[in-house]
Amino acid sequence: MQTLNDLLGESKIFMNREVLSPHFTPKKLVFREKEINNIERAVAPSLKGERGRNLFIYGKTGTGKTSCVNYVIDEIKNIPNTRAKISYINCRIYNSRFKVLAKITSDHLPTYAKRGYGAVDLYERLRNWIEEDSKIFVAVLDEIDMVRDLDDLIYTLTRINSDIKAGGVSMIGISNRVSFKEDLDPRSLSTLYETELVFPPYYATELYAIIKDRANTGFKKGVISDDVLHYIAAHAAKEGGDARFSLKVLSKAGELTEDKNASSVTLKEAQEAAKVAEDDAVYDLIGTLPEHQKLVLYSIALLTQSGGTYKKLTDGVDTYLFSGEIYNRYNSICGSMKKESKSERWYRKYLSELEMQGLIAAFESGKGIRGHTKLVKLLVPARKTRDVLEKDIFGMLEEKNEEKEAN
Protein backbone atom coordinates (compact mmCIF):
# COMPACT_ATOMS: atom_id res chain seq x y z
CA MET A 1 0.00 0.00 0.00
CA GLN A 2 1.45 3.36 -1.05
CA THR A 3 1.57 6.29 1.35
CA LEU A 4 0.91 9.91 0.38
CA ASN A 5 4.66 10.54 0.38
CA ASP A 6 5.08 7.64 -2.06
CA LEU A 7 2.42 9.12 -4.33
CA LEU A 8 4.03 12.57 -4.24
CA GLY A 9 7.53 11.22 -4.80
CA GLU A 10 9.16 10.23 -8.06
CA SER A 11 7.64 7.15 -9.65
CA LYS A 12 9.79 4.04 -9.96
CA ILE A 13 7.62 2.85 -12.85
CA PHE A 14 6.51 5.78 -14.97
CA MET A 15 8.63 8.31 -16.80
CA ASN A 16 5.77 10.09 -18.63
CA ARG A 17 2.22 8.87 -17.89
CA GLU A 18 0.68 11.21 -20.47
CA VAL A 19 2.03 9.30 -23.47
CA LEU A 20 0.29 6.13 -22.23
CA SER A 21 -3.13 7.80 -22.38
CA PRO A 22 -5.43 6.75 -25.26
CA HIS A 23 -6.15 10.48 -25.71
CA PHE A 24 -2.50 11.39 -26.37
CA THR A 25 -1.79 12.15 -30.04
CA PRO A 26 1.83 11.30 -30.97
CA LYS A 27 3.77 13.35 -33.49
CA LYS A 28 3.64 10.44 -35.92
CA LEU A 29 0.71 8.04 -36.30
CA VAL A 30 2.09 4.73 -37.53
CA PHE A 31 0.09 2.38 -39.79
CA ARG A 32 -2.42 5.13 -40.62
CA GLU A 33 -0.54 7.11 -43.29
CA LYS A 34 -3.04 6.11 -45.99
CA GLU A 35 -6.05 7.13 -43.89
CA ILE A 36 -4.47 10.46 -42.94
CA ASN A 37 -3.80 11.16 -46.61
CA ASN A 38 -7.44 10.43 -47.47
CA ILE A 39 -8.64 12.85 -44.78
CA GLU A 40 -6.22 15.49 -46.10
CA ARG A 41 -7.61 14.99 -49.61
CA ALA A 42 -11.14 15.47 -48.29
CA VAL A 43 -10.36 18.78 -46.54
CA ALA A 44 -8.00 20.15 -49.23
CA PRO A 45 -10.81 21.92 -51.20
CA SER A 46 -11.87 23.75 -48.01
CA LEU A 47 -8.32 24.97 -47.46
CA LYS A 48 -8.36 26.43 -50.97
CA GLY A 49 -11.64 28.24 -50.29
CA GLU A 50 -13.80 25.73 -52.16
CA ARG A 51 -16.82 23.90 -50.83
CA GLY A 52 -15.79 20.28 -50.26
CA ARG A 53 -17.67 17.04 -49.95
CA ASN A 54 -18.74 15.70 -46.60
CA LEU A 55 -16.61 12.87 -45.22
CA PHE A 56 -17.88 10.03 -43.03
CA ILE A 57 -15.30 7.95 -41.19
CA TYR A 58 -16.16 4.53 -39.76
CA GLY A 59 -14.33 1.95 -37.71
CA LYS A 60 -14.41 0.11 -34.41
CA THR A 61 -13.34 1.79 -31.20
CA GLY A 62 -9.57 2.15 -31.00
CA THR A 63 -8.80 2.07 -34.72
CA GLY A 64 -7.34 5.60 -34.75
CA LYS A 65 -10.23 7.57 -36.27
CA THR A 66 -10.21 10.49 -33.85
CA SER A 67 -6.42 10.58 -33.54
CA CYS A 68 -6.02 10.84 -37.33
CA VAL A 69 -8.63 13.59 -37.63
CA ASN A 70 -7.03 15.55 -34.77
CA TYR A 71 -3.67 15.10 -36.46
CA VAL A 72 -5.05 16.73 -39.62
CA ILE A 73 -6.75 19.48 -37.58
CA ASP A 74 -3.36 20.34 -36.05
CA GLU A 75 -1.89 20.49 -39.56
CA ILE A 76 -4.64 22.91 -40.64
CA LYS A 77 -3.99 25.20 -37.67
CA ASN A 78 -0.40 25.63 -38.87
CA ILE A 79 -1.43 26.73 -42.38
CA PRO A 80 -1.24 30.54 -42.65
CA ASN A 81 -3.92 32.70 -44.29
CA THR A 82 -6.49 29.99 -44.85
CA ARG A 83 -10.15 30.95 -45.00
CA ALA A 84 -11.13 27.57 -43.62
CA LYS A 85 -12.45 27.53 -40.06
CA ILE A 86 -12.88 24.30 -38.15
CA SER A 87 -14.64 23.06 -35.01
CA TYR A 88 -14.07 19.69 -33.36
CA ILE A 89 -17.24 18.60 -31.56
CA ASN A 90 -17.49 15.57 -29.28
CA CYS A 91 -21.11 14.52 -29.84
CA ARG A 92 -21.11 12.35 -26.73
CA ILE A 93 -21.10 15.70 -24.87
CA TYR A 94 -22.74 17.98 -27.44
CA ASN A 95 -25.49 15.51 -28.27
CA SER A 96 -28.22 17.66 -29.83
CA ARG A 97 -28.56 20.14 -32.69
CA PHE A 98 -28.82 23.03 -30.25
CA LYS A 99 -25.68 22.00 -28.34
CA VAL A 100 -23.67 21.53 -31.56
CA LEU A 101 -24.70 24.96 -32.86
CA ALA A 102 -23.93 26.50 -29.47
CA LYS A 103 -20.45 24.86 -29.46
CA ILE A 104 -19.67 26.17 -32.95
CA THR A 105 -20.81 29.64 -31.93
CA SER A 106 -18.70 29.47 -28.77
CA ASP A 107 -15.64 28.47 -30.82
CA HIS A 108 -15.87 31.26 -33.37
CA LEU A 109 -18.24 33.94 -32.04
CA PRO A 110 -17.56 33.91 -28.28
CA THR A 111 -19.12 37.32 -27.65
CA TYR A 112 -22.38 36.06 -29.15
CA ALA A 113 -22.30 32.70 -27.39
CA LYS A 114 -24.42 33.35 -24.32
CA ARG A 115 -27.55 31.87 -22.82
CA GLY A 116 -30.90 32.90 -24.19
CA TYR A 117 -30.41 32.30 -27.91
CA GLY A 118 -32.40 29.51 -29.56
CA ALA A 119 -31.32 27.24 -32.41
CA VAL A 120 -32.84 29.54 -35.07
CA ASP A 121 -30.90 32.56 -33.75
CA LEU A 122 -27.66 30.59 -33.71
CA TYR A 123 -28.28 29.34 -37.23
CA GLU A 124 -28.86 32.87 -38.56
CA ARG A 125 -25.71 34.21 -36.88
CA LEU A 126 -23.53 31.36 -38.14
CA ARG A 127 -24.91 31.71 -41.66
CA ASN A 128 -24.10 35.44 -41.69
CA TRP A 129 -20.64 34.80 -40.21
CA ILE A 130 -19.82 32.31 -42.97
CA GLU A 131 -21.17 34.50 -45.76
CA GLU A 132 -19.60 37.79 -44.65
CA ASP A 133 -16.17 36.91 -46.07
CA SER A 134 -16.84 33.65 -47.94
CA LYS A 135 -15.54 31.37 -45.20
CA ILE A 136 -15.43 27.62 -45.60
CA PHE A 137 -16.46 26.04 -42.32
CA VAL A 138 -15.66 22.40 -41.46
CA ALA A 139 -17.61 20.76 -38.62
CA VAL A 140 -15.89 17.66 -37.24
CA LEU A 141 -18.60 15.63 -35.50
CA ASP A 142 -17.00 12.86 -33.46
CA GLU A 143 -19.41 10.05 -32.50
CA ILE A 144 -21.97 11.73 -34.73
CA ASP A 145 -24.50 8.94 -34.14
CA MET A 146 -24.82 10.10 -30.51
CA VAL A 147 -26.73 13.24 -31.63
CA ARG A 148 -30.34 12.64 -30.62
CA ASP A 149 -31.90 14.81 -33.33
CA LEU A 150 -29.32 14.00 -35.99
CA ASP A 151 -31.74 14.49 -38.90
CA ASP A 152 -32.37 18.06 -37.73
CA LEU A 153 -28.65 18.75 -37.32
CA ILE A 154 -27.71 17.43 -40.75
CA TYR A 155 -30.57 19.35 -42.37
CA THR A 156 -29.50 22.55 -40.58
CA LEU A 157 -25.82 22.33 -41.55
CA THR A 158 -26.51 21.37 -45.16
CA ARG A 159 -29.23 24.03 -45.39
CA ILE A 160 -26.61 26.75 -44.81
CA ASN A 161 -25.09 25.88 -48.19
CA SER A 162 -28.44 26.55 -49.87
CA ASP A 163 -29.02 29.82 -48.01
CA ILE A 164 -25.67 31.53 -48.63
CA LYS A 165 -24.24 33.10 -51.78
CA ALA A 166 -20.59 32.65 -50.85
CA GLY A 167 -18.64 30.28 -48.63
CA GLY A 168 -19.84 26.89 -47.47
CA VAL A 169 -20.10 24.19 -44.82
CA SER A 170 -18.61 20.70 -44.88
CA MET A 171 -18.92 17.93 -42.32
CA ILE A 172 -16.55 15.23 -41.15
CA GLY A 173 -18.61 12.65 -39.27
CA ILE A 174 -16.92 9.96 -37.17
CA SER A 175 -18.82 6.87 -36.03
CA ASN A 176 -18.17 3.38 -34.68
CA ARG A 177 -21.22 2.11 -36.60
CA VAL A 178 -21.21 1.80 -40.38
CA SER A 179 -24.97 1.26 -40.22
CA PHE A 180 -25.87 4.46 -38.35
CA LYS A 181 -27.04 6.24 -41.53
CA GLU A 182 -29.80 3.66 -41.91
CA ASP A 183 -31.56 5.47 -39.06
CA LEU A 184 -31.59 8.77 -40.97
CA ASP A 185 -34.55 10.21 -42.79
CA PRO A 186 -34.20 9.77 -46.60
CA ARG A 187 -34.36 13.57 -46.97
CA SER A 188 -31.29 13.96 -44.75
CA LEU A 189 -29.43 11.26 -46.66
CA SER A 190 -30.16 12.97 -49.97
CA THR A 191 -28.40 16.16 -48.83
CA LEU A 192 -25.17 14.57 -47.65
CA TYR A 193 -23.15 14.05 -50.86
CA GLU A 194 -20.51 12.27 -48.84
CA THR A 195 -17.27 10.33 -49.21
CA GLU A 196 -16.75 7.36 -46.89
CA LEU A 197 -13.59 6.07 -45.25
CA VAL A 198 -13.38 2.86 -43.20
CA PHE A 199 -10.60 2.31 -40.65
CA PRO A 200 -9.64 -1.38 -40.31
CA PRO A 201 -8.72 -2.91 -36.93
CA TYR A 202 -5.03 -3.11 -36.04
CA TYR A 203 -3.14 -6.41 -36.30
CA ALA A 204 -1.26 -7.77 -33.30
CA THR A 205 2.09 -6.81 -34.86
CA GLU A 206 0.87 -3.24 -35.38
CA LEU A 207 -0.47 -3.01 -31.83
CA TYR A 208 2.87 -4.25 -30.52
CA ALA A 209 4.72 -1.53 -32.44
CA ILE A 210 2.30 1.14 -31.15
CA ILE A 211 2.55 0.19 -27.47
CA LYS A 212 6.29 -0.49 -27.74
CA ASP A 213 6.79 3.10 -28.90
CA ARG A 214 4.61 4.46 -26.07
CA ALA A 215 6.28 2.22 -23.47
CA ASN A 216 9.74 3.47 -24.46
CA THR A 217 8.82 7.01 -23.38
CA GLY A 218 6.08 6.24 -20.86
CA PHE A 219 7.97 3.80 -18.62
CA LYS A 220 11.39 3.93 -17.09
CA LYS A 221 14.05 1.75 -18.70
CA GLY A 222 13.78 -1.95 -17.90
CA VAL A 223 10.32 -1.71 -16.28
CA ILE A 224 8.41 -3.67 -18.93
CA SER A 225 9.62 -6.56 -21.10
CA ASP A 226 8.88 -7.42 -24.72
CA ASP A 227 7.09 -10.59 -23.58
CA VAL A 228 4.56 -8.51 -21.61
CA LEU A 229 4.12 -6.11 -24.53
CA HIS A 230 3.52 -9.03 -26.93
CA TYR A 231 0.90 -10.44 -24.53
CA ILE A 232 -0.94 -7.10 -24.35
CA ALA A 233 -0.84 -6.68 -28.14
CA ALA A 234 -2.11 -10.21 -28.78
CA HIS A 235 -4.89 -9.82 -26.22
CA ALA A 236 -5.99 -6.49 -27.75
CA ALA A 237 -5.95 -8.03 -31.23
CA LYS A 238 -8.36 -10.73 -30.01
CA GLU A 239 -10.57 -7.98 -28.56
CA GLY A 240 -10.98 -6.51 -32.06
CA GLY A 241 -7.70 -4.76 -32.85
CA ASP A 242 -8.36 -1.90 -30.45
CA ALA A 243 -5.31 0.33 -29.84
CA ARG A 244 -7.15 2.27 -27.13
CA PHE A 245 -7.79 -0.98 -25.25
CA SER A 246 -4.13 -1.98 -25.50
CA LEU A 247 -3.04 1.40 -24.10
CA LYS A 248 -5.52 1.11 -21.22
CA VAL A 249 -4.08 -2.30 -20.36
CA LEU A 250 -0.53 -0.96 -20.62
CA SER A 251 -1.22 2.00 -18.34
CA LYS A 252 -3.26 -0.03 -15.83
CA ALA A 253 -0.55 -2.70 -15.63
CA GLY A 254 1.91 0.03 -14.67
CA GLU A 255 -0.47 1.36 -12.00
CA LEU A 256 -0.97 -2.12 -10.51
CA THR A 257 2.79 -2.62 -10.41
CA GLU A 258 3.23 0.73 -8.68
CA ASP A 259 0.50 -0.12 -6.14
CA LYS A 260 2.42 -3.29 -5.25
CA ASN A 261 5.61 -1.25 -4.86
CA ALA A 262 7.26 -3.58 -7.38
CA SER A 263 9.99 -2.53 -9.79
CA SER A 264 8.85 -4.18 -13.02
CA VAL A 265 5.60 -5.07 -14.80
CA THR A 266 5.05 -8.84 -15.00
CA LEU A 267 2.59 -10.97 -16.95
CA LYS A 268 0.44 -11.17 -13.81
CA GLU A 269 -0.13 -7.40 -13.71
CA ALA A 270 -0.82 -7.38 -17.46
CA GLN A 271 -3.46 -10.11 -17.04
CA GLU A 272 -5.09 -8.29 -14.11
CA ALA A 273 -5.08 -5.04 -16.11
CA ALA A 274 -6.64 -6.76 -19.11
CA LYS A 275 -9.56 -7.95 -16.98
CA VAL A 276 -10.18 -4.43 -15.64
CA ALA A 277 -9.96 -2.97 -19.15
CA GLU A 278 -12.40 -5.58 -20.51
CA ASP A 279 -15.01 -4.61 -17.90
CA ASP A 280 -14.50 -0.91 -18.61
CA ALA A 281 -14.78 -1.51 -22.36
CA VAL A 282 -18.20 -3.16 -21.97
CA TYR A 283 -19.66 -0.20 -20.13
CA ASP A 284 -17.99 2.28 -22.49
CA LEU A 285 -19.67 0.35 -25.32
CA ILE A 286 -23.08 0.58 -23.65
CA GLY A 287 -22.67 4.34 -23.48
CA THR A 288 -22.15 4.56 -27.25
CA LEU A 289 -25.33 2.65 -28.19
CA PRO A 290 -28.11 4.52 -30.01
CA GLU A 291 -31.01 5.58 -27.79
CA HIS A 292 -33.48 2.82 -28.67
CA GLN A 293 -30.85 0.09 -28.40
CA LYS A 294 -30.17 1.39 -24.90
CA LEU A 295 -33.87 1.15 -24.09
CA VAL A 296 -34.04 -2.44 -25.38
CA LEU A 297 -30.94 -3.40 -23.38
CA TYR A 298 -32.41 -1.65 -20.33
CA SER A 299 -35.57 -3.75 -20.72
CA ILE A 300 -33.45 -6.92 -20.86
CA ALA A 301 -31.52 -5.90 -17.73
CA LEU A 302 -34.73 -5.15 -15.81
CA LEU A 303 -36.33 -8.45 -16.77
CA THR A 304 -33.17 -10.42 -16.03
CA GLN A 305 -33.21 -9.01 -12.51
CA SER A 306 -36.91 -9.17 -11.72
CA GLY A 307 -38.76 -11.37 -14.21
CA GLY A 308 -41.71 -10.27 -16.31
CA THR A 309 -45.10 -11.16 -17.74
CA TYR A 310 -44.09 -14.70 -18.65
CA LYS A 311 -42.26 -17.21 -16.55
CA LYS A 312 -38.50 -16.92 -16.97
CA LEU A 313 -36.53 -19.88 -18.22
CA THR A 314 -33.44 -20.78 -16.26
CA ASP A 315 -31.01 -23.67 -16.24
CA GLY A 316 -29.94 -22.85 -12.71
CA VAL A 317 -27.09 -20.65 -13.94
CA ASP A 318 -28.37 -18.45 -16.76
CA THR A 319 -31.69 -16.67 -17.27
CA TYR A 320 -33.40 -16.73 -20.66
CA LEU A 321 -36.11 -14.26 -21.69
CA PHE A 322 -38.77 -14.40 -24.39
CA SER A 323 -38.23 -11.87 -27.16
CA GLY A 324 -41.90 -10.82 -27.04
CA GLU A 325 -41.66 -10.20 -23.30
CA ILE A 326 -38.70 -7.85 -23.86
CA TYR A 327 -40.53 -5.99 -26.63
CA ASN A 328 -43.55 -5.47 -24.36
CA ARG A 329 -41.34 -4.04 -21.62
CA TYR A 330 -39.55 -1.82 -24.18
CA ASN A 331 -42.92 -0.49 -25.37
CA SER A 332 -43.97 0.16 -21.78
CA ILE A 333 -40.77 2.09 -21.01
CA CYS A 334 -41.12 4.19 -24.17
CA GLY A 335 -44.71 4.99 -23.19
CA SER A 336 -43.69 6.07 -19.68
CA MET A 337 -41.09 8.37 -21.25
CA LYS A 338 -43.66 9.76 -23.73
CA LYS A 339 -41.48 8.43 -26.52
CA GLU A 340 -42.69 6.61 -29.63
CA SER A 341 -41.41 3.05 -29.70
CA LYS A 342 -39.97 1.49 -32.85
CA SER A 343 -41.65 -1.27 -34.84
CA GLU A 344 -40.99 -4.97 -34.29
CA ARG A 345 -38.86 -4.97 -37.44
CA TRP A 346 -36.53 -2.35 -35.91
CA TYR A 347 -36.65 -4.16 -32.57
CA ARG A 348 -35.38 -7.38 -34.19
CA LYS A 349 -32.59 -5.37 -35.80
CA TYR A 350 -31.66 -3.92 -32.40
CA LEU A 351 -31.43 -7.42 -30.92
CA SER A 352 -29.13 -8.48 -33.76
CA GLU A 353 -26.86 -5.48 -33.22
CA LEU A 354 -26.74 -6.02 -29.44
CA GLU A 355 -25.78 -9.63 -30.14
CA MET A 356 -23.04 -8.57 -32.56
CA GLN A 357 -21.66 -6.26 -29.85
CA GLY A 358 -21.44 -9.26 -27.49
CA LEU A 359 -23.91 -7.81 -24.96
CA ILE A 360 -26.58 -10.51 -25.40
CA ALA A 361 -27.00 -13.99 -26.84
CA ALA A 362 -30.15 -14.74 -28.86
CA PHE A 363 -31.33 -17.98 -30.43
CA GLU A 364 -34.50 -19.67 -31.66
CA SER A 365 -36.25 -21.78 -29.02
CA GLY A 366 -37.35 -24.58 -31.32
CA LYS A 367 -40.69 -26.36 -30.94
CA GLY A 368 -42.40 -26.80 -27.62
CA ILE A 369 -41.82 -23.42 -25.98
CA ARG A 370 -44.85 -21.32 -26.91
CA GLY A 371 -44.25 -22.22 -30.53
CA HIS A 372 -41.22 -20.81 -32.31
CA THR A 373 -39.82 -17.83 -30.41
CA LYS A 374 -36.48 -16.17 -29.83
CA LEU A 375 -34.80 -16.57 -26.46
CA VAL A 376 -32.48 -13.86 -25.18
CA LYS A 377 -29.78 -14.01 -22.51
CA LEU A 378 -27.91 -11.01 -21.08
CA LEU A 379 -24.12 -11.57 -21.23
CA VAL A 380 -23.09 -8.72 -18.92
CA PRO A 381 -23.97 -8.17 -15.23
CA ALA A 382 -27.60 -7.09 -15.01
CA ARG A 383 -27.32 -4.76 -12.04
CA LYS A 384 -24.37 -2.73 -13.31
CA THR A 385 -25.88 -2.60 -16.81
CA ARG A 386 -29.13 -1.29 -15.31
CA ASP A 387 -27.28 1.33 -13.23
CA VAL A 388 -25.22 2.55 -16.21
CA LEU A 389 -28.29 2.80 -18.44
CA GLU A 390 -30.46 4.51 -15.83
CA LYS A 391 -27.84 7.19 -15.33
CA ASP A 392 -27.51 7.58 -19.10
CA ILE A 393 -31.20 7.46 -20.06
CA PHE A 394 -32.59 9.61 -17.28
CA GLY A 395 -29.64 11.97 -17.58
CA MET A 396 -30.68 12.49 -21.22
CA LEU A 397 -34.22 13.33 -20.12
CA GLU A 398 -32.94 16.01 -17.74
CA GLU A 399 -30.78 17.49 -20.52
CA LYS A 400 -33.76 17.63 -22.88
CA ASN A 401 -35.82 19.49 -20.30
CA GLU A 402 -32.98 21.98 -19.79
CA GLU A 403 -32.76 22.54 -23.55
CA LYS A 404 -36.49 23.19 -23.79
CA GLU A 405 -36.15 25.83 -21.09
CA ALA A 406 -33.19 27.42 -22.95
CA ASN A 407 -35.21 27.56 -26.17
pLDDT on residue 80: 84
User: Does the pLDDT of residue 325 top 90, yes or no?
Assistant: yes
- 157-175 as b/e, with b when 16 or more CB fall inside 10 Å? bbebbeebeebbbbbbbbb
Residue type, position 79, single letter: I
**pTM score, whole prediction:** 0.79
Q: What's the pLDDT band for 21 if we cut at 50, 70, 90?
A: very high
- Percentage of residues of the chain with pLDDT beyond 90: 64
pLDDT on residue 203: 97
pLDDT on residue 148: 86
What is the rounded CA–CA span in Å between residue 247 and residue 236?
9
User: Does the pLDDT of residue 205 top 70, yes or no?
Assistant: yes
> Structural domains in the chain?
33-198 (3.40.50.300), 202-287 (1.10.8.60), 289-406 (1.10.10.10)
User: Does the pLDDT of residue 369 top 90, yes or no?
Assistant: no
Can you state the angle between helices 226-238 and 267-288, rounded to 10 degrees? 30
User: Does the pLDDT of residue 398 top 60, yes or no?
Assistant: no
pLDDT on residue 190: 79
Q: What's the pLDDT band for 78 if we cut at 50, 70, 90?
A: confident
What is the rounded CA–CA span in Å between residue 266 and residue 227?
9
- Percentage of residues of the chain with pLDDT beyond 70: 89
pLDDT on residue 374: 86
pLDDT on residue 181: 81
Residue type, position 113, single letter: A
Q: What's the pLDDT band for 367 if we cut at 50, 70, 90?
A: low
The answer to whether 272 touches 254, Cβ cutoff 8 Å, is: no
User: Does the pLDDT of residue 330 top 80, yes or no?
Assistant: yes
Tens digit of pLDDT for each residue in 124-172?
999 999 999 999 999 999 999 889 899 999 999 999 999 998 899 999 9
pLDDT on residue 10: 76
Q: Mean pLDDT across the stretch 255-278? A: 95
- 322-356 as b/e, with b when 16 or more CB fall inside 10 Å? bbbbbbbbbbebbeeeeeebbeeeebebbbebbbe
Tens digit of pLDDT for each residue in 291-319?
899 999 999 999 998 865 555 555 555 67
